[in-house]
């Protein structure tokens, strides 16, 4: 909330104008089967991030969120993005991102490779690729929601740290997704440095352009 005060030179009462700053919305498509167990995990991760971003006073939020059919992309292409064989700027073609009219696309894949997140930039989709949940680590309790949140952190521009108590711990440190395993549902926290980065980057960000494209989608309430 920003306050702008206009004080006239006379002794009459001055006027106070209160202007609401609207959050920058990054729309999200989740591409996968409607009954995929990662769907609720992704939605929880998005809700968690929006709470964190609001608490930090930033002007960015994820949403609205829509669901689309599972992507018609071979798992080999996802594996190449995961391994770095296809770089950040090669994903538009490899993953047919022009088919999606949202700022961020989350792919629920059937592949057995590390999940990955790529940053959202002007005129470039943010991308999350989640590995299958039929085996570890995503089959472990509490892991899928934190992996989804971790990769969305990369979409926001965060990089790996070496603190195993934090959400963004990852390579080259020995942190791996199974560290999130817990019988108690919870999200791992951000570090103070990561919070400061988000506040500096999104403290008063303008609304970026929506990316052009097409997708068949189900609106998620």
pLDDT band for position 205 (cuts 50, 70, 90): very low
Question: Structurally, what CATH architecture does the domain formed by 24-219 represent?
Answer: 3-Layer(aba) Sandwich (3.40)
Q: Does residue 184 contact residue 142 with C-beta atoms inside 8 Å?
A: yes
pLDDT tens column, 101-110: 999 999 999 9
pLDDT tens column, 28-84: 999 999 999 999 999 999 999 999 999 999 999 999 999 999 999 999 999 999 999
pTM (two decimals): 0.82
Non-local (6+) Cβ contacts of 92 within 8 A are: 98, 124, 125
Residue ranges per domain, the chain?
24-219
């Amino acid at each position: 909330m920003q306050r702008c005060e206009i004080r006239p030179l006379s002794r009459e009462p001055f006027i106070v104008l209160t202007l609401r700053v609207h959050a920058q919305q990054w729309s999200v498509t989740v591409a996968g089967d409607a009954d995929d167990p990662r769907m609720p995990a992704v939605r929880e991760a998005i809700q968690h991030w929006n709470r964190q971003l609001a608490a930090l006073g930033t002007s960015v939020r994820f949403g609205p969120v829509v669901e689309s059919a599972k992507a018609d992309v071979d798992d080999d292409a996802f594996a190449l993005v995961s391994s770095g064989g296809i770089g950040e700027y090669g994903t538009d073609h490899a993953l047919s991102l022009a088919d999606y009219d949202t700022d961020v696309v989350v792919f629920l894949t059937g592949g057995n490779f590390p999940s990955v997140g790529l940053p959202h930039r002007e005129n470039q989709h943010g991308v999350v690729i989640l590995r299958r949940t039929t085996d570890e680590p995503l089959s472990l309790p509490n892991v899928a929601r934190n992996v989804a949140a971790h990769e969305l952190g990369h979409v926001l521009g965060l990089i790996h740290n070496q603190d195993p108590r934090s959400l963004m711990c990852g390579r080259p440190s020995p942190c791996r997704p199974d560290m999130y395993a817990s019988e108690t549902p919870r999200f791992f926290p951000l570090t103070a440095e990561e919070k400061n980065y988000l506040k500096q980057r999104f403290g008063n960000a303008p609304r970026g352009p929506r990316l052009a494209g097409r997708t068949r989608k189900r609106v998620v309430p």
